[in-house]
A and B are shown apart, each in its own frame.
Chain A
Amino acid sequence: MPEKRSLADNIPLLDKGKAMKFIIYGLLVAILFGLMMMISRSIALDADEWQTLAIFENQMNYEHGVYGYTDYVLRGDQITRIYNWMNFQDVIFMNIARVGINIALVFILIGFLSFAVAENIDERTRRIFLIIAGMILFLVMFTTFFASITVSVT
């Protein structure tokens, strides 16, 4: 009976096709989570403009008799609440994206590592794949342990 191998056992022995799939899927997932993060950031940055528009619309609706004073006050409170949520959702989605992107980078890393240890590739190419894998590992470690990277010139 052939020995059952788990995914973890198979990792160093991934063939070229599977390794390429890992890299491509990892890239796709990273792009999707990155998009999610940028959209969330854009919503948070533009929350001020939305609030200005919503307050103006609320005033106009009151002036045109769409609703009365109590509803005008309630809608004002709703606008403030939604504005605060628009600012706060950035924290939630950024952290989800951080987890997703790191997982995607791990998949890409596994793909490049598999190429680096593949025997049917020439030495120079394997070295390049290993360097790329090392760079991705460095990026994963750095983004895991540090909140942001800043460069200041004085």
Chain B
Amino acid sequence: MEKKALIKIILIIGIGLIIAGPIIGYATDKVILVPKKAHEIPETSDDELRDAYAKEFTLTKNQKAVISFSVFTPNITARLKIFNQYYYEAEYDSNSDPTGLSGEDFIYSTFIIGQSPSTSGATSITITEQGEVYIEFTGARNGINLISLPGRYVVVVYGVNSDPANDNVYFNLGLKVDGPGGILSSIFVIAGIIILLCYALLLSYNYLNKLRRGR
């Protein structure tokens, strides 16, 4: 009886792994470093790097960072650049003007219903008044093709508010990096298939044994 219960448990585990694989893969496909939400920085960020918004992240080989950057407030001009961390730290120490700094290459897309998908390359992106861009970054690019360059990077946002009564710059930013979703999903599904195969082989072996011994 115990053996039968164990075999049933093995079967349930195998089926469970196959079902859970794609779900876990989807859930861990992207790791959210910064959930998409509103941020506020002072207008002085346009001249002083220390007042700009900064978020560090690390990329490994073939890992991609995805940044959704948007502005939905009038009078705002917000700019986004991505720097190598060592370069950023050196410029931070001297509180440089971010406008004059050189950012890393990335590609960005804007979404227009009915328009064919397209992308462009840039080293900085500016949104005035309102708009939304979807940025993909892996360290370097060649045209619109991303090149993986592992390392530590910093995404920086700075801007101005043309409303004289308001000195703050408002923008929305979300940051995600590729997670282990693909690998995890494959591991779970393959493990489930192997367990089900072993279960089928065990059943066949028991049945053939019974036939050989005679019922």
How far in angstroms is the closest Cβ of chain A from B149?
A: 15
Q: CB distance B66 to A67 under 8 Å?
A: yes
Chain A: CB-nearest residue to B208: A7
Q: Which residues of A contact B57 (CB under 8 A)?
A: none
CB of B164 within 8 Å of the partner chain = no
Kindly identify, within residues 39 to 95 of chain A, every residue whose CB is under 8 Å from any CB belonging to chain B: 59, 62-65, 67-73
Q: CB distance A68 to B112 under 8 Å?
A: no
Q: CB distance B119 to A68 under 8 Å?
A: yes
Contact with A70, one of B112, B113, B136, B212 (Cβ below 8 angstroms):
B136
Q: CB distance A59 to B117 under 8 Å?
A: yes
How far in angstroms is the closest Cβ of chain A from B193?
A: 15
Chain A: CB-nearest residue to B120: A69
Q: CB distance A70 to B117 under 8 Å?
A: no
Q: Which residues of B contact A59 (CB under 8 A)?
A: 117
Q: Which residues of B contact A63 (CB under 8 A)?
A: 111-115
- Classify chain A: how many residues form its interface, as a range: 10 to 19
Please judge, given known A-B contacts A62-B111, A63-B111, A63-B112, whether A69 and B132 are in contact too, CB under 8 Å.
Answer: no
Q: CB distance A69 to B68 under 8 Å?
A: no
> What is the bound-complex CA distance between A72 and B66, given in angstroms?
13
Q: Which residues of A contact B134 (CB under 8 A)?
A: 65, 67-69
Chain B: CB-nearest residue to A70: B136
How far in angstroms is the closest Cβ of chain B from A72?
A: 5
Chain A: CB-nearest residue to B176: A67
> What is the bound-complex CA distance between A67 and B114, given in angstroms?
16
Q: Which residues of B contact A70 (CB under 8 A)?
A: 64, 107, 119, 136, 146
CB of B118 within 8 Å of the partner chain = yes
Q: Which residues of B contact A65 (CB under 8 A)?
A: 68, 111, 132, 134
> What is the bound-complex CA distance between A72 and B118, given in angstroms?
10
Contact with B136, one of A7, A62, A69 (Cβ below 8 angstroms):
A69
CB of B12 within 8 Å of the partner chain = no
Kindly identify, within residues 99 to 145 of chain A, every residue whose CB is under 8 Å from any CB belonging to chain B: none
A-to-B contact residues, CB < 8 Å: 7, 59, 62-65, 67-73
A-B contacts, 18 listed (Cβ < 8 Å):
A7-B211, A7-B212, A59-B117, A62-B117, A63-B112, A63-B114, A65-B134, A67-B66, A68-B109, A68-B119, A69-B107, A69-B109, A69-B117, A69-B134, A70-B64, A70-B136, A70-B146, A72-B117
* Additional A-B contact list (20), CB under 8 Å, known A67-B134, A70-B64: A7-B212, A59-B117, A62-B109, A62-B111, A62-B117, A63-B112, A63-B114, A63-B115, A65-B68, A67-B66, A68-B108, A68-B109, A68-B134, A69-B107, A69-B109, A69-B119, A69-B144, A70-B146, A71-B136, A73-B117
Q: Which 4 A-B pairs have the closest CB atoms?
A: A69-B119, A68-B134, A69-B109, A68-B109
